[in-house]
Structure 1
Amino acid sequence: MKKKKLGKLIAVNVLVASQLLLAACSNNSEKTGGDSKESYSLDSHLEVSWTAILHTPSPPTDVVLDKIEEATNTTINFNWVPDASKEERITAALASGELSDIVSLTMLTNSSVRQSLKSGMFWDVGEYLDDYDNLKLISEDIRKAASIDGKLYGVPFQKDLARSGLIIRKDWLDKLGLEVPKTLDELYEVARAFTEDDPDGNGKDDTTGFGDRSDLRYSSFKTLSSYFGTPNGWAVDENGKFTPEFETQAYKDTMNYSRKLYENGYLAQDFAVTAKTDQQQNFAQGKTGIYTGMVDIKNLKVMAKGVQDQMELVPVNKVAGPDGKYHIWSENSGVGGLMAFPKSEVESEEELKRILQFINDLIDEEVFMLMTGGIEGTHYELGENGEFKVLDDALWQKDVQPFASSRPSEITHSIVDADPSKQLANELIKENEEFAILDPTVPLDSATANERGTELQKIIVDATIKYIMGELDEKGFDAEVEKWRKSGGEQMITEYEEAYKKSQE
């Protein structure tokens, strides 16, 4: 064997396994002599290590993994990295150079990630995709959005163009005599009522309108800002001039809206230190009534089983802004990141091609269903009209759910969900494409963004959170924006403008 493999890292406690990311990757010293010349064919058995992001409390069991391996003729050694610590873990691994055969890079705007991609650390797979029946179907728009300077340093995770929106407790709306909000004012009133009017009827002051988390991009703030008409990251005018979103009035209007929510207690008071899993638990336990992210509607209902069995949810994708129109931000133009292949681990073109065949096989409908639903008859069943229904929520959570975020494509196959609210959410996510706002910098490159983009963005994120919490006034926020400009922001603007001009030639 070319590498020493570690076996299935399934039962590892991700909270205490500090070496989880690197454990299966410290193989470089063992790639010596003839072992590095192992031959590969597209139908040979593959042993592959994969650093993947975990969005659930625990890694999956072997039950579905065994079926995935059988279907793809592989042995897969997953190195699960909890979503809450992915930035720290991934950047540390990139810096050390100790990597897996496949690395899920979901933070394409992270400066360390972009630097690593541009450094030549990973294979450029652009010329290979059309050799595979599933990978060749990746659209040119997605390939372009996932590329840097025209090079595609991994297989793009294919996502819907815009998945954001709200999930609201419908049973609480009904109890309080409220309609599903259609405007920002109506949404504010729902947040107020969910906080002050005892929506759960227990006679206690123990509910909050908006649950939230510290990640501004995936918290309520980014979605609210798009409702207000804020550009997605950057605005570019007809002359090719770029303006960062936080220098627009719409962004400041969003900060004021969020600040008012926070001051009145209608926004979770601990949002600045809350992780995604805690935000979900708070919602599932009936502590909050508005959640951001329609795609999570089924997970929330599963989490609420036995705790909030009376819970009824409604997904909402259309909240009109001050201009009376609908807007929603697009996540990287339908790209959820890259499955990247380090040259230090994937040493030959033959090995790369075999791994690409593996990624291609994961998109086959059989494997997609394994990673989505599990084993038919055990985890799910299909109704007379093909409606998908989970048979045992607890079992599905344990065996199947953790694989969902590692599916190479969420758009190649579609499922009609037996749960009406989940199916409605799926349909609304598709509808979002009609009014999605794209980030114009996704296909562009900026040296400053690559080198210090994450550091610079932190200035704005911290300032925004402080403003919402009342720790900074408008003058103080503007001072932080000026700090951003002087620390490299102005150079970033210039570089994006130059790259944009070049792209238009």
Structure 2
Amino acid sequence: MKKRFVPVIASVLLASQFLLAACSNDKEKVDGEEKDKEKTAAYDPNSHLEVSWMAMLHTPTAPTDVVLDKIEEKTNATITFNWVPDASKEERVTSALASGELADIVSLTMLTNSSVRTSLKSGMFWEVGEYLDDYENLKLISEDVRTAASIEGKLYGVPYQKNLARSGLVIRQDWLDKLGLPVPETLDDLYEVARAFTEDDPDGNGKDDTVGFGDRSDLRYSSFKLLSSYFGAPNGWKVEDDGSFISEVETQEYKDAMDFSRDMYKNGYLAQDFAVTAKTDQQNQFAQGKTGIYTGIVDIKNLKDLAKGLQDDMDLVPVNKIKSPDGDYHVWSENSGVGGLLAFPKSEVKTEAELKRVLQFVNDLIDKEVYMLMTGGIEGVHYELEASGAIKILDTDTWKNDVQPFSSQRPSEVTHSLVDADPKKQLANEQISENSDFAVLDPTVPLDSATANERGTELQKILTDATIKYIMGDIDEKDFEAEVKKWREAGGDQMAKEYAEAYKKSQK
């Protein structure tokens, strides 16, 4: 019995295993078919969308719901914003990426941040390159922008389209007039303006209480990055004729810019507290009449608004062209016209159909009506159009509360051309467009480096700290070179090698 029982049991077991295997295969087949159906499922672009959005907040407070309600109406969506203050974005975003606590849409504005690049390459976010041409507005994104926003040829989100180079100076025109100085055209002119604004009592109050250059601790968006480009320094990295890469800090032009800033700091023409000053403090110092030169022509209108009631007679002039020692004009480009990515985590946007609906939402944000809501607000409430087509803000405080935070969330700043009713702001806009003619691009933007992905932020801090210390006179040239050597040995040389290899591949 036992001899016959064992084979029967074995047969039953074999049969069971066969049935289980068959069921398993059938289940896998069904699951696979379901996944295929999910992936290829048609989406309804007219369906109501509930979407969450982790967005960067560049204003002191989040916006009211006045304009948000209109945006939701036009896009057929209910939008839940998770606002991240710009000042703490690096900490908050990297923490969210590490924890996986994300929204349906994540604004990633720090594409050179090692944690961000690593997360994008990890497969955490949808690759969207193949979908853009299916949408009326997204298909207009140029190939150059798509390339610049990609990592190893893969596009992990919809690029924020920005002007190629938005940097420049805002200078107190009324102070220039009082001191009999022309608008600076060369670096020597600019130095003289900084000196005069510090030493020659430009506000006429008889006190030694003004400084030429206001500044802040963010080296990239402070005066130094702009000055280094005026001196002709490369933007981050330089590609040599043989295809090798060298860092900007290893060029004479970068060192000349450091010496220029060091001399201004030593003489008090550059704000002495710049290393611990935040952007909002820098803006307030300018608005209060404590400084006379501000870096960032995009802020010219905001600076004038901040000065109301404090410096009502303030007159400003935007300056985008300062001649370099080589006789030409140069200005650094912010990520080759890419302000970041609107990225879609697979953990939140789970199917292709959901992705397509969210992409439709982003596409709709670029429609002229929605763009105007995010730029000017509601016509008749926040702005009116003048006969010239210029936008005139009716009440600045109301616009700031209801509209301003949305302006930095626009997926594109280049799709629609608007005229500003403020002539100085309009001039600044025209100068920003003109910057494209002599913008200096960062050649590493579309390239990838494993070392940069893993430790780029940490390594950059070595160079940033060394540059600031040199400007402040805390270290000398020998000490600075020692820090550069430390950076090279810690991974700088490896980054240069990896960028060169990636560049070589991209040229094939």
Q: TM-score, normalised by structure 1?
A: 0.92
Distance in 2 between the 1:300 and 1:371 partners? 20
Partner SS state of residue 171, structure 1: helix
Structure-1 residue corresponding to 2:115: 112
Is the 1:39–1:351 Cα contact (8 Å) retained in structure 2? no
Partner SS state of residue 278, structure 1: helix
* 1:502 counterpart = 2:505: yes
Q: CA deviation at 1:385?
A: 1.6
Q: CA deviation at 1:151?
A: 0.6
Is the 1:51–1:104 Cα contact (8 Å) retained in structure 2? yes
Q: CA deviation at 1:453?
A: 0.5
Aligned pairs (5 A) from 1:44-193: 44-193=47-196
Distance in 1 between the 2:281 and 2:43 partners? 44
Structure-2 residue corresponding to 1:16: none
Partner SS state of residue 109, structure 1: coil
CA RMSD in angstroms, aligned pairs only: 1.3
Distance in 1 between the 2:67 and 2:281 partners? 26
Query: Residue type of the partner of 1:54?
Result: L
Distance in 2 between the 1:68 and 1:299 partners? 24
Q: CA deviation at 1:40?
A: 5.3
Is the 1:212–1:268 Cα contact (8 Å) retained in structure 2? yes
Partner SS state of residue 52, structure 1: strand
Distance in 2 between the 1:227 and 1:214 partners? 20
Q: CA deviation at 1:274?
A: 1.0
Query: Residue type of the partner of 1:236?
Result: V
Partner SS state of residue 156, structure 1: strand
Aligned pairs (5 A) from 1:204-215: 204-215=207-218
Query: Residue type of the partner of 1:125?
Result: V
Distance in 2 between the 1:402 and 1:196 partners? 38
Identify the match of residue 396 of structure 1 among 391, 399, 405. 399
* 1:323 counterpart = 2:326: yes
Distance in 1 between the 2:176 and 2:166 partners? 23
* Deviation readout 1:382-402 (Å, 9 max, x if unpaired): 111211111111111111111
Identify the match of residue 450 of structure 1 among 450, 453, 466. 453
Q: Which is greater in Rg?
A: 2
Identify the match of residue 203 of structure 2 among 200, 203, 211. 200
Query: Residue type of the partner of 1:205?
Result: D
Aligned pairs (5 A) from 1:221-240: 221-240=224-243
Q: CA deviation at 1:178?
A: 0.6
Structure-1 residue corresponding to 2:430: 427
Query: Residue type of the partner of 1:413?
Result: H
* Deviation readout 1:196-241 (Å, 9 max, x if unpaired): 1111112222111111111111110000000000001111122101
Query: Residue type of the partner of 2:127?
Result: D
Aligned residues: 470
Distance in 1 between the 2:66 and 2:201 partners? 43
Structure-1 residue corresponding to 2:4: none
Structure-1 residue corresponding to 2:421: 418
Structure-2 residue corresponding to 1:307: 310
Query: Residue type of the partner of 1:398?
Result: N
Query: Residue type of the partner of 1:301?
Result: K
Structure-2 residue corresponding to 1:31: none
Distance in 1 between the 2:275 and 2:424 partners? 29
Partner SS state of residue 406, structure 1: coil
Q: CA deviation at 1:308?
A: 1.3
Aligned pairs (5 A) from 1:352-363: 352-363=355-366
Partner SS state of residue 266, structure 1: coil
Distance in 2 between the 1:275 and 1:101 partners? 30
Q: TM-score, normalised by structure 2?
A: 0.91
Structure-1 residue corresponding to 2:367: 364
Identify the match of residue 439 of structure 1 among 434, 437, 442. 442
Query: Residue type of the partner of 1:197?
Result: D
Query: Residue type of the partner of 1:211?
Result: G
* 1:264 counterpart = 2:267: yes
Partner SS state of residue 129, structure 2: coil
Structure-2 residue corresponding to 1:405: 408
Distance in 2 between the 1:39 and 1:101 partners? 19
Query: Residue type of the partner of 1:119?
Result: S
Distance in 2 between the 1:287 and 1:365 partners? 40
Stretch of structure 1 that moved more, 128-137 or 192-201: 192-201
Distance in 1 between the 2:474 and 2:105 partners? 42
Distance in 2 between the 1:207 and 1:350 partners? 58
Structure-1 residue corresponding to 2:31: none
Q: CA deviation at 1:41?
A: 2.0
Q: CA deviation at 1:306?
A: 1.7
